[in-house]
Structure 1
Amino acid sequence: MSATLTAPTAPAERAAHRDGNVLRWLGAYTSSLVGDSVYYMALSWAAAQSGSAAQAGLVLAVGAVPRALLMLGGGVVADRFGPRRVVIASDAVRCVVILAMAAALLLASPGLWLLISVALVFGAVDAVFLPAVGALPPRITGTGQLARIQGLKGLAARIATITGAPLGGLAVALGGSAAAFAAAGALFAVSTALLTGVRIAAASADGAKDRGAAGRELVDGLRYVRGHPVLFPLMLVIAIGELGFAGPLNIGLTLLAEERGWGAAGMGWIVAAFGTGAGLVSLMLSVRGRVPRAGLVLPASLLGGVASIAGLAYAPSVLLAATAGLFIGLLAGLSGALCGALLQLATDQAYLGRVSSVSALFTLGVAPLSYPVTGAAIGAWGTTPVFLVSAGVCATGALIGLASANLRRAELPR
């Protein structure tokens, strides 16, 4: 028998892509993602202008430290005060900080210390913002729309990828780093304004009711994940799958194109194919709204992505590599969206912030640690064996999902 995951009753069921409340949230989420892209463009440009390449790299790296260290605490904050309040407050703080940085650049030539300070503050605020963002969707729509929400999030990510960097580059070209920071701040302001119009279910507006010491709440959240029959194997699939995908799809593609003489244009075709595949899956989920036997499709699609990564390792031409990239985008996009939907459906609303923080820690905190390892391994042994090892890591995550009867039988509600 299949088990349909359910969550506490949310607002009246309505197709997410026709729901004004969801569309306001989607506009805010998209504006925030584009703002992130413009911010990082502005920060990297300002850092490169103020110091050496190594110092610029340091500025970009330091923001990840507070985000990783504080992420689990950010989940506690989201559950204690409610994700809507936390998202609005953290977005507003990001807006003020970035606009203040734009003003500082207009009035003076601040050194690296100020850029590092901004990166640290931004990373710390992100540690609160990201779990709250993950906890918000189940409170703004019906449970049957959460797969569609994941599709809409995927489309927002594609829009941000396409528009963020060009917009940041245009701002830099027209007015330097100050203009780029100002553009990012304006995007965060738009996001904040839209979020104030988003309604959530009254029963969950105040967040978790059982409020103890922050440390006890954090431990309680981790125990909740550890003891949950669906969340625990699902979190293992997310953590291990992301660890396998992250290296090859970020640093690995660049080195693969260089090793095989495909150049930047070849890498661009592969990345474009991956984005096309992920975008098509996001569009399909946004319209369809449900995938039957989601708990089984999730690890099966992850296994298909594993085969595509292995195929990429042996691709003799850009065309075949781009074809593999297309399938990776399709299958990884599908498995990732199903992970998000099942995670939100399986989690009690009082724990959504903390559970989202654990997931975000793996995807945004731990997985990037594989980048230098992947680069060093490719330098020592070449791309093919490293891609195959990464495929094996992903396969391990998929097999864990298939081995869990509770996860395998999980269904999205109709």
Structure 2
Amino acid sequence: MPPTPLPAAPVTERPAHRDGNVLRWLGGYTSSAIGDNVYYLALSWAAVQAGTPAQAGVVTAVSAVPRALLLLGGGVVADRHGPRRVVLGSTGVRCLLALTAAVLLLTTGPGLWALGAVAVLFGIVDAVFLPAAGALPARITDRGQLARVHGMRGLGVRLASVLGGPLGGLGVALGGTAGAFGLAALLIGVSLPVLLTVRVGPLPPDDAKGRGSVLADLGDGLRHIRRDPVLRPLVLALALADLGFVGPMNLGLTLLARERGWGSSGMGLVLAGFGVGAAAASLLLAWRGRIPHAGRVTGVTGVASGAAIAALAHVPSVAGAAGTALLLGALAGLSGALAGALLQSRAGSAYVGRVTSVSTLVSFGVAPLTFPVVGWAVGAAGTAPVFTACAAVCALSGAVTLGSRSLRRAELPR
């Protein structure tokens, strides 16, 4: 039986923040993102209860391995079958995995091996989900609204990071770790009926999507990136930005707070400052809808983000660090959202999933695996040199952007 055709997105352009179709997508995306945050908190809490801190660290990081290995293939799947269909299917599986963890905790009290197996399976599904979720905005709105949609998506991410921790803690307090996993399953599952109502644009013809082997289609996507004078440096710049940013703002910030004696409350203030800055940048894009000279602004804010990361390690007070983090959040948030909008507006319609998978490979697959390296380097040389080295990598992403004439002059569609 042939699949039922997907409903077409409207062809009349309207502001994304007034488009019910986009708002439904945003609601489903945000609910799923909050569920992800609750899931990872529940996983880390269960792993800490079942083993040593080192073992818990392995369990929480193990999902990054299959994600890194399979993410590019996930982009092929998204392009072949359409991001909406892949998002719906993978969201259902992710909900089922969180629910399975809750049931296991209620019935058997699983050890580290069971938790690790759930984490690995979640990482495998994520490798398919993430490229499709990243490619979906290009199917639900007009090209001229992509920057606004990426700003709205950034607001959803910030809301998820703010609510995920407290909701996960509430789930643990009321129902134990099983309750937190159950809450994660509920939040991820709630996004399914919402996303079912989202209309999407038509898929490219079969001959454009490709029907060779996965490797052949992946190679075709990589050639598409390599041949485009904007995509080629943009993907490199995004990779460098992620490599320079993820380590300092995750494990590095924890180690910096311990070294300075800020405590968990001080670290929370710094993270709050970053979140406010990033939310402000997302709100600006959601409101304005288009930033002139997008390529040039992306490069300048990328270089400035590197400078802010370096400054963060040299600010002695919590208040100063929170202010620096606020600036960093605004710069990195604006740079990242503009880069994402440029990426999707430039990628061919048949290649959005593959281009998205390549551009997010470092942030979701490779960068988390660098945490042990960051921890070792901080132990050997201290936080300031490590932050400075990561800042240089981040600033290099801006230099790549500004150094490419095509990317520097790139504009978002009107």
Structure-2-length-normalised TM-score: 0.94
Matching residue of 2:323: 323
Q: Which amino acid aligns with 1:122?
A: F
Matching residue of 2:53: 53
Give how far 1:203 is off.
4.6
Matching residue of 2:75: 75
Give how far 1:380 is off.
1.5
Separation in 2 of the partners of 1:403 and 1:392? 16
Give how far 1:209 is off.
3.3
Change beyond 3 A, Cα 1:111–1:208: farther
Separation in 2 of the partners of 1:149 and 1:104? 38
Give the 5 Å matches for 1:121-140: 121-140=121-140
Matching residue of 1:373: 373
Pair 1:43-2:47 in alignment: no
Q: Which amino acid aligns with 1:37?
A: N
Change beyond 3 A, Cα 1:208–1:195: farther
**Deviations, residues 203-246 of structure 1 (Å, cap 9, x unaligned):** 54979532111110011111111121100100111011111111
Separation in 1 of the partners of 2:392 and 2:345? 29
Query: How many equivalent residue pairs?
Result: 406
Classify the secondary structure of the residue corresponding to 1:269. helix
Q: 2:61, 2:368 within 8 Å by CA — same for their partners in 1? A: no
Give the 5 Å matches for 1:72-111: 72-111=72-111
Classify the secondary structure of the residue corresponding to 2:75. helix
Pair 1:357-2:357 in alignment: yes
Give how far 1:41 is off.
1.6
**Deviations, residues 67-101 of structure 1 (Å, cap 9, x unaligned):** 11100000010011111100000001111222233
Q: Which amino acid aligns with 1:27?
A: G
Give how far 1:359 is off.
1.2
Matching residue of 1:5: none
Classify the secondary structure of the residue corresponding to 2:333. helix
Pair 1:386-2:393 in alignment: no
Q: Which amino acid aligns with 1:331?
A: L
Matching residue of 1:249: 249
Separation in 1 of the partners of 2:122 and 2:246? 23
Separation in 2 of the partners of 1:331 and 1:412? 18
Separation in 1 of the partners of 2:101 and 2:318? 42
Q: Which amino acid aligns with 1:167?
A: L
Give the 5 Å matches for 1:11-410: 11-204=11-204, 209-410=209-410
Separation in 2 of the partners of 1:28 and 1:288? 23
Give how far 1:23 is off.
0.7
Change beyond 3 A, Cα 1:207–1:324: farther
Matching residue of 2:5: none
Q: 2:277, 2:333 within 8 Å by CA — same for their partners in 1? A: yes
Change beyond 3 A, Cα 1:268–1:209: closer
Change beyond 3 A, Cα 1:248–1:100: closer
Separation in 1 of the partners of 2:316 and 2:189? 47
In terms of mean alpha carbon deviation, does 192-201 or 375-384 score higher? 375-384
In terms of mean alpha carbon deviation, does 147-156 or 375-384 score higher? 375-384
Q: Which amino acid aligns with 1:53?
A: P
Q: Which amino acid aligns with 1:148?
A: R
Give how far 1:174 is off.
0.8
Separation in 1 of the partners of 2:392 and 2:292? 27
Change beyond 3 A, Cα 1:94–1:102: same
In terms of mean alpha carbon deviation, does 163-172 or 126-135 score higher? 163-172
Change beyond 3 A, Cα 1:387–1:109: closer
**Deviations, residues 51-71 of structure 1 (Å, cap 9, x unaligned):** 332322222122111111100
Change beyond 3 A, Cα 1:12–1:91: same
Q: 1:10, 1:143 within 8 Å by CA — same for their partners in 2? A: no
**Deviations, residues 300-335 of structure 1 (Å, cap 9, x unaligned):** 011111221222232132222222111101101110
Q: Which amino acid aligns with 2:73?
A: G
Separation in 1 of the partners of 2:133 and 2:239? 19
Structure-1-length-normalised TM-score: 0.94
Separation in 2 of the partners of 1:100 and 1:256? 37
Taking only the aligned residue pairs, the percentage that are identical comes to 59
Matching residue of 2:6: none
Identify unmatched segments of 5+ residues in structure 1.
1-8
Two-structure CA RMSD over aligned residues (Å): 1.7
Separation in 2 of the partners of 1:128 and 1:216? 18
Separation in 2 of the partners of 1:10 and 1:294? 26
Classify the secondary structure of the residue corresponding to 1:316. coil
Change beyond 3 A, Cα 1:207–1:79: farther
Q: 1:207, 1:350 within 8 Å by CA — same for their partners in 2? A: no
Q: 2:257, 2:263 within 8 Å by CA — same for their partners in 1? A: yes
Classify the secondary structure of the residue corresponding to 1:328. helix
Classify the secondary structure of the residue corresponding to 2:212. coil
Give how far 1:384 is off.
1.7
